[in-house]
Chains A and B, each alone.
Chain A
């Protein structure tokens, strides 16, 4: 793609400078559209810092007029087992999903890329097929299987399901990552006496590290944000992840909703995603194009 851009650039650069007004209009329009996309996020973050007295009022203006305050965040502590506890649940699920997904898909990607074994094609298609069937349609049996395994209403059970949902994309991604590594590197390492898992851990992993970051990033974000499976599989309020807790907050008590708490909760849920994306954007887009366009 970069190559294509480089080829396109000179011919277009030739006629562009003549359209100065054109360029100004482009940037004006782009900034307006960008503001439209940013506004909801900015409004909720700003509004979450308003004091209790303002929290129930429309966000006009969105920023705190009566002074910056953490009231809304403090009030979140009263819901469930406290916002920190539930943020911890979400973090545990997201990190657990990311870690297991990375390890499992690293192993599988290596296996599918480097070895020949019976039923290889069938097994690979089987893993990819998971993508074709929406998990919403197999939620009921998943519920029963987790119960049979003694994992109903546990964060561990949720992690196992999230890992399965991530596998088709992740294994595909890692297989491709290993496919691009020259065979000679492996052979040289083998001559030096590195074999099996040690070869994979010390020699190969650093080379396919970008792929691992993409895989881990997607696993983390998807697990952090997932709602339906968490809603169905977690029945004990103590175990709720942030989306499930915040939905309960939004339902309110006796018809009145603490919108300030909702704003604070939404901010807590959004910020890690936005930060991770901005920090690791390169890996995110790489995963997106590899996962969808191929």
Chain B
């Protein structure tokens, strides 16, 4: 990112007489003021409030009461939250591995310019632009046992004896949602990884081919190391997105079967907006936020970005 780079305007304004520059300074603040206002009121203020509220017993109606770290103490013993977090972690691992694998396979598949390849890329990308809610509703229908597609189709093809209710037990329900997410988001990771693949000079592969390296060796020793940055980006986006999963589990499974698919955000949603324990919900949010930051930092470490910062 080039935030610290001075733009050309900064450099050139040095020669401008002092009075004129002053006037410009004020005008510039007016230009950026609306954006700053939005960020202050709807981001910085609520962020501070989350921390503040987490130290209170904060009902929806009535006076909030300062209780120090009691919410955080209660959180330690909240099995529901830790179960939700464990489930979210399990889902994140499955979704991230699935998405990066399928995304990379698609990227390798359509990376080279050929006739019609643009059309294929567009089609693979289409599910990305429809919303998570639409995709989830669509999948809820496709997975339903009576009116859906998957079970009746499996029955008609003779794969299963009778119809199986995919959403009634944990494993098929979990995999149904994971497959939906891979279908919906693989195209996104394809584009990110493809831009990395296309940046690899063709000579590298040519040279390795001449030296007798097979496809797997070229992939392992040329492609993978050279797309480390896009891969790190894809992995961070994927992990933080999956750790915040809500729509698909709320819409398709409503947390079922037997409340086994409640994610962390879903648990916070229930605490805050179903039970209206706003202070406790805030404490959970702070913890989730901390976990997300640690995960992102770990991944940056893992992918070992040794290039000097620009």
Contacts and interface: CB of A to CB of B under 8 A. Distances in A.
Nearest to B296: A132
A249 B105 CA distance: 37
B32 to A, nearest CB: 4
Given A140-B50, A164-B38, A228-B246, A289 B140 contact: no
B9 A183 contact: yes
B137 A247 contact: yes
A161 B192 CA distance: 27
Contacts of B109: 29-30, 33
Interface string B268-310: 1100110000100110011011001000000000000000000
Main secondary structure of the interface of B (DSSP, over half): helix
Given A60-B153, A127-B35, A269-B131, A40 B142 contact: yes
Given A136-B268, A183-B12, A269-B131, A130 B43 contact: yes
Contacts of B4: 121
A128 B3 contact: yes
A201 interface: no
B103 interface: no
Nearest to B25: A117
Nearest to A54: B147
Given A30-B116, A228-B269, A266 B202 contact: no
B130 A225 contact: yes
Contact of B50 (A123, A124, A137, A269): A137
A161 to B, nearest CB: 6
B221 interface: no
Contact of A160 (B42, B114, B244): B42
Interface in B1-59: 1-4, 7-10, 12-13, 21, 24-32, 34-36, 38-39, 41-47, 49-50, 53
Main secondary structure of the interface of A (DSSP, over half): helix
Interface string B98-141: 00000000100110111011011011111101111110011111
Given A224-B131, A289-B195, A141 B183 contact: no
B147 A56 contact: yes
Contacts of B53: 140-141
Interface in A140-154: 140-145
A116 B13 contact: yes
Interface of A: 1, 4-5, 7-9, 11-12, 23, 26-27, 29-30, 33-34, 37-38, 40-41, 43-44, 55-60, 62, 103-105, 107-108, 110-118, 121, 123-128, 130, 133-134, 136-145, 160-161, 163-164, 167, 171, 179, 183, 196, 221, 224-228, 232, 243, 246-247, 250-251, 257, 259, 262-263, 265-266, 269-270, 273-274, 276-278, 281, 284-285, 288-289, 292-294
Q: Which 9 A-B pairs have the closest CB atoms?
A: A225-B131, A111-B31, A115-B28, A243-B133, A141-B49, A58-B152, A141-B46, A108-B35, A164-B42
